[in-house]
Amino acid sequence: MSIDADSPRSAGESWLTLYYLGRAAFSTVWVAAALALGQKYAVLGAGLLVLYPFWDAAANYIDAARSGRLAANRTQALNVFVSLVTTPAVVVTLQMGLNAVLATFGAWAVLSGLLQLGTAIGRWRAGAQWAMILSGAQSALAGAFFVIQARQAVPAVIPTIAGYAAFGAIYFLVSAIWLIVGKRLRNSPTDKPPAASA
């Protein structure tokens, strides 16, 4: 039996698919810009570092507003707050040195990763959330590694964070593809035509 394209479940899946594709696309463009230009031009690199948590805040806000408002999505509301606080924190730490920048991104990655994991668990029935759970867990682990790494000799920060963002893009893309394939499989006709009688 196919699912009505106008049903709440179908509408929710369509939004999540679009949302995940949008996040994957942004992260891909951000990584490309960071690696190609951010390392050559300090001002552009700094701008990209500030933009990344701000985009995360905006994306979570849009998704929460589209999925029942912030009051009904507390983990995303907290994620919006954490990312908004991180944005000016990155601006400040850019004046302090690369160690401080990496530590700030690490703390943010831990918190936002755990909140993303909580969001995915809460919307498990929406589908494709296993990838978001993995993404959130990996973000938290990567963030903890960043914090530890920030106490040592810091490598190039932009490539380090670009690698983190690239994995995020992959998880979002996998989630979108999973939703698309699942919806098509459910909507495909399953009834076989009756066999012709001799």
Residue 188 exposure: Cα atoms within 13 Å on the Cβ side = 8
Residue 197: pLDDT over 50? no
Mean pLDDT of 118-137: 90
Residue 156 tokens read as 């190039």
Specify the pLDDT at position 180: 92
pLDDT digits (tens, 9 = 90+) for 149-177: 998 887 689 999 999 999 999 999 999 99
Compute the distance between CA of residue 139 and CA of residue 112 in angstroms, rounded to an integer.
Answer: 8
Compute the distance between CA of residue 86 and CA of residue 76 in angstroms, rounded to an integer.
Answer: 15
Compute the distance between CA of residue 59 and CA of residue 64 in angstroms, rounded to an integer.
Answer: 9
Contact 160, 102 (CB under 8 A): yes
Residue 181 tokens read as 């394939």
Compute the distance between CA of residue 34 and CA of residue 160 in angstroms, rounded to an integer.
Answer: 10
Compute the distance between CA of residue 118 and CA of residue 112 in angstroms, rounded to an integer.
Answer: 10
- Average pLDDT in the chain: 88
Q: pLDDT band for position 58 (50/70/90)? A: very high
Contact 80, 53 (CB under 8 A): no
Residue 86: pLDDT over 80? yes
Compute the distance between CA of residue 6 and CA of residue 187 in angstroms, rounded to an integer.
Answer: 13
Residues above pLDDT 70, as percent of the chain? 88
Specify the pLDDT at position 12: 75
Helix axes 42-66, 98-122, angle to 10 degrees: 20
Compute the distance between CA of residue 18 and CA of residue 12 in angstroms, rounded to an integer.
Answer: 10
Number of Cβ within a 10 Å radius of residue 41: 11
Please state whether 91 falls in left (phi above 0), alpha (psi between -120 and 50) or beta.
alpha
DSSP secondary structure letters along 76-102: HHHHHHHHHHHHHHHHHHTTT-HHHHH
Residue 113: pLDDT over 50? yes
Compute the distance between CA of residue 149 and CA of residue 101 in angstroms, rounded to an integer.
Answer: 11
Q: pLDDT band for position 94 (50/70/90)? A: very high
Specify the pLDDT at position 44: 96
Q: Give residue 131's Cα distance to chain centre.
A: 10
Compute the distance between CA of residue 88 and CA of residue 50 in angstroms, rounded to an integer.
Answer: 8
pTM across the whole model: 0.87
